Structure 1
Amino acid sequence: MKRGFIGERNVKNSPTSPRTKNVNKRYTIDEALDVFIQSKEAEGLRPRSIENYREHTRHLMRYIDRDPFCIDELTSKLIREYISYLSKDRIAYEEFGNRARESKGLSPYTINLRLRSLKTMCAFWYEEGMLSSNPAEKVKKVKSDEVDEVPGLTDIEVERILNYYDERQFAQWRDKTLCLLLLDTGLRIEEAVSLTIDRINLRYCEINVPPNKAKNRKGREVPVSREVAKRLIKLQDESRLYFGECDEVFMNAYGDPYTAEAFRRRLNRMKKDLDIPRLHPHMFRHTFCRNYILNGGDLFTLQKIVDHADINTTRKYIQMDEEHIRQQHNKYSPIRKYLRNRKN
């Protein structure tokens, strides 16, 4: 891979004047991205996060449609025009042909994800002396009345999904087991598909998530129902019977480790069969968080289980539709106590 290098520069720091930078080299977007990625890889950023930066840069360059393009040509005006294009004219999945949607404009959540990546990269390039100013610094994220996070699945949708699988087929039995695991533990999909048999503790009904698999780099023990734990062990026994010695619980039909992307593709096909508007792995995690609270769990314990560094993130996951709100009100409304007292 071709690597970009940071040119020599003179940096002046003065308590009475702003810091100035002398940029002695122009960097194309590809060169600048290589420098940024190299730095993030050295910091130990996850491969999926690295790929997100690459993907978001590809979206930007598809809009700019000019090669070569140098990062010093980025301006606040250009970035805001790009955001306006994403909001009004961009067609979701346009590059995938048959997946393209008819409506124009991406969701504020998707736009803000791409903007956050661009702001992070621009800040890095400025701090490294590759830009004389940060063009994204004052660009604000898109405001919206919509909820940032996607909702979980309804009880009816969960029933339809679980009933969809034919457990006589290995792949469908495996996928149903994975769905049950996600609904039971709130694991991230990458944490779930990478599960190995040695990390299942049937005695204490726990699953160990080591630091190198956890998003926040902190290992944790996640409670799991005994029924699901036994199903995981049975699945691994089945895999060993077909494919020989292996540590992974989830395998594909060729005896290779199952991947999150393969599961996403299979969910997308199921979504069409069941006519469910949205269906992807993270929705199972949202469903677990919501149902955990509805069933009487507390927010702080939930935060530890799902490995959120900030409890505000946990709160965002707990989205309840009108039916859930009615059920909770009917169950916990304080007026019932007063009405009972009057009857007595």
Structure 2
Amino acid sequence: MQPSSKKRKFGVRRGVNQNPAAYLSLSELFDRYMALKKTQGWARLTIQGYYTHYNWFIDYLEEAEGLPDLMNEDITSDVFLGYVEDMADRGLAKTTMNVRIRTTRAFLRWCYEEGHIAEPIHEKFKPVKVPNDHVDALTPDEVKRLLNVIDDTRFVGFREITIILTALDTMARISEIVAMKRDNVDLREGTVRLEADDTKSKRTRVVPLSPHSLRYLHEYMIETEDFMTDHLFVTYDGLPLDAGTFRKRLTEIKEEAGITSKRVSPHVLRHTGALLYILDGGDPFSLQQILGHTDASMVKKYVNMADSDLIMQHRKHSPLNSVFDRKKRR
């Protein structure tokens, strides 16, 4: 669909307030929406995420529809449903699709409730269904395979191992990890403080560290003292490490480790840490606090996965297995 060269004429639309704001383009409405959310104290990372996801939609609009923006009369559910189909055609993971859908949907709900658009698009533009009983996670053996292929005699390799161990131990998001400062780490108390401005929930949380990650962090912090920077994880030049750089490197490590059946990403490390925590006897309530979740829905997924693992282990090691095996031998 090519943009029209004719000047648009806006008529009276039922259900839309008759004020200048009702005739703003979608991007102008988005700018107003984000300005409002900034005044409401949204976290910096949340705001960045909304801009990123909106730009993905604009990219789709330009490529698929030939439009740099949408005017009021063009803001319809068909455009956004087409966006969902395009994401599916591109092979995006359903979880990735849903993150983009939810942020855009929240914006569209605001547009409708404020009277800027006539159609309640958010009621049709819904997240796609995904299995709710499973998350990607690595086994302890797969984690060891990742660590074993990294050359820790090099600075980059030692940094990678330290980040992986920190990610598994703290179960922090990669955005929270790369934002860590040196003084956030308390080696004496064995904790790391995640600042409110760097967390998704906009709440400061203090996360415990095990002796394993503490040992690596201690040595890493000694090695990087000469960089004279507040940032904890840095490049060779002493600049803050970019999250994208670590994501790309994890993919390379995964291939070197020969892990072909699973995706390996910073978020998979977070899932892995949470699942192993539950499997080792950790309780869901403390896990929710460590993860920084405001509700227990995600924690329940880890518990359900742990229960499934327990069933498998019981089938393999049931006391009755040996009883009936003896009868067979007789």
**Which of 9, 18, 22 is the equivalent residue of 2:18?**
22
Q: Is the 8 A contact 2:167 2:177 kept in 1?
A: yes
Cα 1:59/1:264, change in 2 over 3 Å: same
Gaps of 5+ in 2: 1-13, 324-330
Which residue of 245, 250, 255 corresponds with 1:267?
250
The AA in structure 2 aligned to 1:143 is K
In structure 1, C-alpha distance between the alignment counterparts of 2:191 and 2:148, rounded to whole Å: 26
Give the number of equivalent residue pairs. Answer: 300
Indicate the residue corresponding to 2:67 in structure 1. 66
CA distance in 1, matches of 2:60, 2:70: 11
1:26-75 deviation per Cα after TM superposition (whole angstroms, max 9, x unaligned): 22233223222322333334343233333332344133332453143122
Contact 2:43 2:199 in 1 (8 A): no
Once superposed, what is the RMSD of the aligned Cα atoms?
Answer: 2.8
Q: Does the CA-based 8 Å contact 2:16-2:117 persist in structure 1?
A: no
* Aligned partner (choices 236, 239, 244) of residue 253 of structure 1: 236
1:165-197: CA deviation from partner (whole Å, max 9, x where unpaired) = 111100110011110111122122122222223
8 Å Cα contact 2:43-2:200 kept in structure 1: no
1:49 alignment partner in structure 2: 49
Range 159-168 or range 117-126, more displaced: 117-126
Question: Is the CA contact 1:185–1:222 (under 8 Å) kept in the aligned structure 2?
Answer: yes
* Structure 1 unaligned regions, length at least 5: 1-17, 93-105, 340-344
Partner of 1:132: 118
Classify the secondary structure of the residue corresponding to 1:115.
helix
Instruction: Quote how far apart the aligned CAs of 1:136 are.
Output: 2.5
Aligned: 1:82 with 2:120: no
Deviates more, 1:135-144 or 1:256-265: 135-144
The verdict on how the C-alpha distance between 1:329 and 1:139 changes in structure 2, with shifts beyond 3 A counting, is same
- Call closer, same or farther: CA 1:218–1:76 in 2, change over 3 Å: same
SS of the equivalent of 2:198 reads: coil
Higher helix share: 2
Q: Is this contact kept in 1: 2:165–2:213, CA < 8 A?
A: yes
Matched, 1:36 2:33: yes
User: 1:259 Cα deviation (Å)?
Assistant: 2.3
- For residue 234 of structure 1, report the CA deviation from its aligned partner: 1.7
Tell which has more relative contact order, 1 or 2 (C-alpha 8 A, sep 6+): 2
Residue pairs, 1:96-107, within 5 angstroms: 106-107=92-93
Structure 1 residue 116 corresponds to structure 2 residue 102: yes
Number of the residue aligned with 1:205: 190
Deviation, structure 1 residue 311: 0.7
2-structure distance, mates of 1:20, 1:69: 16
Higher mean displacement: 249-258 or 196-205: 196-205
Runs of at least 4 residues off by over 6 Å = none
Query: What is the deviation of 1:19?
Result: 7.2
1:131: how far off? 1.8
Distance in 2, Cα, partners of 1:264 & 1:187: 14
| Partner residue in 1 for 2:328 | none
Q: Which amino acid aligns with 2:110?
A: F
CA distance in 1, matches of 2:239, 2:138: 30
Deviation at 1:329, TM superposition (A): 5.8
For residues 55-104 of structure 1, what are the alpha-carbon distances to aligned partners after superposition, in whole Å with 9 as ceiling and x for unaligned? Answer: 332344133332453143122233334333433xx224xxxxxxxxxxxx
CA distance in structure 1 between the aligned counterparts of 2:300 and 2:180, rounded to whole angstroms = 27
| Structure 1, 290-299 or 184-193: larger mean CA deviation | 184-193
Q: Which amino acid aligns with 2:233?
A: F
Change (3 A) 1:161 1:79: same
1:92-141, Cα deviation, whole Å (9 max, x unpaired):
4xxxxxxxxxxxxx343333323222211111222333223332324443
Q: CA deviation at 1:216?
A: 1.2
CA distance in 1, matches of 2:188, 2:315: 38
Say if 1:132 and 1:68 are closer, same or farther in 2 by CA, change over 3 A: same
Matched, 1:220 2:205: yes
